[in-house]
């Protein structure tokens, strides 16, 4: 066989995997359009995908109902010691986990093809980018990796004969028995046989038993956050669960903002925001992940390591995110949404009524107002090319990255957290990021939606090592000589009145908060010092239509009793988890906050 690489280490690993999993054939992916179409044909012919008549080059997939989201309780950080994984990660001894998984992998690709996907996270050749190679038996994964990363021969060329890559091994699980019917759904292993395993010291990822996005597209959360965060700590950079947007004011001055929100809390909407303020422009650099390194000028430069969007469909509409809706008109993979009679897709809160009878995400007939349950899974997804997005920034693939001026943290909080406040310093911003709390969403399979959980820097499910050490890494970055660090802000678009009405309209009106942050980066907007940080002075934030000054006063108030409860919860239930790994600076900030609130 004429192999497309001379990297002997890679060739040996591929051969070793093939020997263990005994596929019928091995195919090295070249990243071509012809290859993408071949994968689509395979899935359509097998009854696992439906072509959409209304959307060119687009398909709908339905997963097994047990395989619809990240499985956090089956996701492991198998570092050499339990302490290295830390209290917020599931840990298994790496030798024990490998032994278990090797048994599962034995012969698991019999009757299937093994695909070898060379991919680059970030522009090929950028000094911030990393190369991975995913082995999989899922054409669905091949197609999604085509969209989400840079795949193919150009990556192998950049890797060369002795370049470093991150090995990523994936299988959907044991093949179906002869004559067994999968009901038109992709096969997957039962929950207790699913494993999403990371070996941070070896820079290695093994996944078994799931075909769902974050568990199977190993370039995404597995490499881009869990493994990359460990690399970033060791190499002095940042791998963060952050969108990146480019903000241009009416005078043509540009700034770049990176923002961390837990999944399904409006990250994609903010990254693709259409401003309501005349003359302002928001452009998309990335909607989910940011890798950042210091440039020669001391600023943090960020790339989006991904090449596409893996967005939550329900709630996406022309009102909430017109740029996303334009992005998914063609070349899109839809997963677990409803199918219309005329060959289009539909989901809850898409902005218009369901057009007649649908086939729901489980393959059953569904009628709005008559059928039980939603037509689309709450965590149903679209995978779309970033290059198809109307708001994509011209510099989104700049290999040098874009200079970051501000960090935002946020989550879904109906009360307590104000619309926007600013950290007093980088270390104080680290403290603010470390106490982020948000309502749990449908993106996490095994947690009750609606409850509040702490999700520091929106990295709780994605940090590949001890989170106490992760906080320390942030603080240490701020102590370096000659660095120009971004200003840090906390935002909350989700405040509600006592009777459950939204206090802030959100969506495009969030541009008013971005305008304020832009001005703060230039030192222009006035602030008021409060116990929780700097708040906008009265009149510094313009009022959207329908928002009264009374509403704004409420949105920018400091709820002393609410914050005292926050402090009590952090002291009792959050910070103690990290034991002696919690940086002393963070404990000092918490004590200081408590004293200020009591004063």
**Is residue 221 a known part of a binding site?**
yes
Nearest to 268, CA basis, from 291, 290, 284, 249:
284
Report the greatest alpha carbon distance in the chain: 75
CATH of span 239-304+396-598: 3.90.228.20
What lies within 8 Å, CB to CB, of 101 at 6+ separation is: 195, 197, 206, 208
Stated pTM of the model: 0.95
**Is residue 265 a known part of a binding site?**
yes
* CA distances (Å), origin 557, targets 136, 495, 589: 52, 12, 20
Are residues 567 and 428 in contact, defined by beta-carbon separation less than 8 angstroms? no
Give the residue range(s) of CATH 3.90.228.20 domains in the chain.
239-304+396-598
**Is residue 384 a known part of a binding site?**
no
- From the list 17, 168, 265, 521, the catalytic residue is 265
Apex 348 CA angle, 345 and 351, nearest 5: 85
Rounded CA-CA distance 260/292 in Å is 14
pLDDT, one tens digit for every residue, the chain (599 residues): 689 999 999 999 999 999 999 999 999 999 999 999 999 999 999 999 999 999 999 999 999 888 998 888 999 999 999 999 999 999 999 999 999 999 999 999 998 999 999 999 999 999 999 999 999 999 999 999 999 999 999 999 999 999 999 999 999 987 656 665 555 556 788 888 999 999 999 999 999 999 988 899 999 999 999 999 999 999 999 999 999 999 999 999 999 999 999 876 788 899 999 999 999 999 999 999 999 999 999 999 999 999 999 999 999 999 999 999 999 999 999 999 999 999 999 999 999 999 999 999 999 999 999 999 999 999 999 999 999 999 999 999 999 999 999 999 999 999 999 999 999 999 999 999 999 998 765 555 455 655 678 999 999 999 999 999 999 999 999 999 999 999 999 999 999 998 889 999 999 999 999 999 999 999 999 999 999 999 999 999 999 999 999 999 999 999 999 999 999 999 999 999 999 999 999 999 999 999 999 99
* CA distances (Å), origin 320, targets 5, 275, 505: 45, 12, 11
**Is residue 70 a known part of a binding site?**
yes
**Is residue 311 a known part of a binding site?**
no
**Is residue 381 a known part of a binding site?**
yes
Rounded CA-CA distance 178/482 in Å is 65
DSSP calls for 539-571: TSSPPPTT--HHHHHHHT---HHHHHHHHHHII
pLDDT at site 191: 87
**Is residue 264 a known part of a binding site?**
yes
Q: Which residue has the tokens 């603010």?
A: 432
Nearest to 313, CA basis, from 295, 298, 325, 299:
325
Give the residue range(s) of CATH 2.170.8.10 domains in the chain.
309-388
Instruction: Please report which helix (H) or strand (E) contains residue 472, including its range.
Output: helix 467-478
**For this structure, is 168 an active site residue?**
no
**Is residue 15 a known part of a binding site?**
no
**Is residue 214 a known part of a binding site?**
yes
**Is residue 267 a known part of a binding site?**
yes
Rounded CA-CA distance 399/128 in Å is 8
**Is residue 412 a known part of a binding site?**
yes
Pick the CATH number of 8-30+70-235 from 3.30.70.890, 3.40.449.10, 3.90.320.10, 3.50.30.60: 3.40.449.10
**Is residue 38 a known part of a binding site?**
no
First to last CA, the chain: 75
E strand map for 124-279: 130-136, 150-151, 166-171, 195-199, 204-208, 238-240, 243-248, 254-260
- Fold designation for 309-388: Phosphoenolpyruvate Carboxykinase; domain 2 (2.170.8)
Rounded CA-CA distance 59/50 in Å is 5
């Amino acid at each position: 066989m004429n192999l497309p690489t001379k990297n002997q280490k890679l060739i040996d690993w591929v051969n070793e995997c093939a020997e263990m999993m005994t596929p019928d054939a091995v195919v090295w992916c070249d990243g071509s359009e012809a290859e993408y179409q071949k994968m689509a044909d395979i899935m359509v012919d097998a009854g696992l995908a439906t072509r959409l008549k209304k959307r060119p080059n687009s398909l709908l997939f339905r997963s097994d109902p047990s395989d619809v989201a990240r499985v956090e309780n089956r996701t492991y950080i198998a570092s050499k010691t339990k302490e290295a994984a830390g209290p917020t990660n599931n840990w298994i001894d790496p030798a024990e986990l490998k032994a278990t998984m090797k048994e599962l992998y034995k012969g698991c690709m019999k009757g299937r093809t093994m695909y070898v996907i060379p991919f680059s996270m970030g522009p090929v050749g950028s000094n911030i980018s990393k190369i991975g190679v995913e082995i999989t038996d899922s054409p669905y994964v091949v197609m999604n990796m085509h969209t989400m990363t840079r795949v193919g021969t150009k990556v192998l060329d950049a890797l060369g004969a002795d370049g470093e890559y991150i090995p990523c091994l994936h299988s959907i699980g044991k093949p179906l028995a002869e004559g067994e019917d999968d009901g038109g759904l992709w096969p997957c292993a039962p929950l207790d046989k699913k494993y999403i395993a990371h070996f941070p010291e070896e820079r290695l990822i093994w996944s078994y038993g799931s075909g769902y996005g974050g568990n199977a597209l190993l370039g995404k959360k597995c490499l881009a956050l869990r493994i990359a965060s460990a690399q970033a700590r060791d190499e002095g950079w940042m791998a963060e669960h952050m969108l990146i947007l480019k903000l241009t004011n009416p005078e043509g001055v540009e700034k770049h903002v990176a923002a961390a929100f837990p999944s399904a809390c409006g990250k994609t909407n903010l990254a693709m925001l259409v401003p309501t303020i005349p003359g302002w422009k928001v452009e998309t650099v990335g909607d989910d992940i940011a890798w950042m390194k210091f440039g020669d000028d001391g600023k943090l430069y960020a790339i989006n390591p991904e090449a596409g969007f893996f967005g939550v469909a329900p709630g996406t509409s022309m009102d909430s995110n017109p740029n996303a809706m334009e992005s998914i008109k063609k070349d899109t993979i839809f997963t677990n949404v409803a199918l219309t009679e005329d060959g289009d897709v539909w989901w809850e809160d898409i902005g218009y009524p369901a057009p007649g009878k649908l086939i729901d995400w489980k393959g059953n007939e569904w009628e709005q107002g008559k059928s039980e349950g939603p037509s689309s899974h709450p965590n149903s997804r679209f995978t779309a090319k970033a290059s198809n997005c109307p708001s994509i920034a011209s510099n989104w693939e700049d290999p040098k990255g874009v200079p970051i001026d501000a960090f935002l943290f946020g989550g879904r909080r109906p009360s307590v957290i104000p619309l926007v406040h600013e950290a007093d310093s980088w270390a104080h911003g680290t403290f603010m990021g470390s106490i982020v709390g948000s309502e749990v969403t449908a993106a996490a399979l095994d947690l009750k939606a609606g409850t509040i959980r702490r999700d520091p820097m929106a990295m709780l499910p994605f940090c590949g090592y001890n989170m106490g050490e992760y906080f320390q890494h942030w603080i240490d970055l701020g102590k370096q000589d000659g660095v120009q660090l971004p200003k840090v802000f906390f935002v909350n678009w989700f405040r509600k009145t006592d009777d459950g009405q939204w206090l802030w309209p959100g969506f495009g009106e969030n541009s008013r908060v971005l305008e304020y942050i832009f001005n703060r980066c230039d030192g222009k907007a006035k602030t008021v010092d409060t116990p929780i940080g700097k708040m906008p002075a009265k009149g510094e934030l313009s009022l959207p239509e329908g928002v009264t000054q009374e509403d704004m006063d409420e949105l920018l108030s400091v709820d002393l009793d609410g914050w005292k409860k926050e402090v009590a919860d952090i002291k009792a239930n959050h910070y103690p988890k990290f034991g002696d790994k919690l940086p002393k600076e963070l404990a000092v900030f918490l004590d200081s906050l408590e004293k200020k609130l009591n004063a």
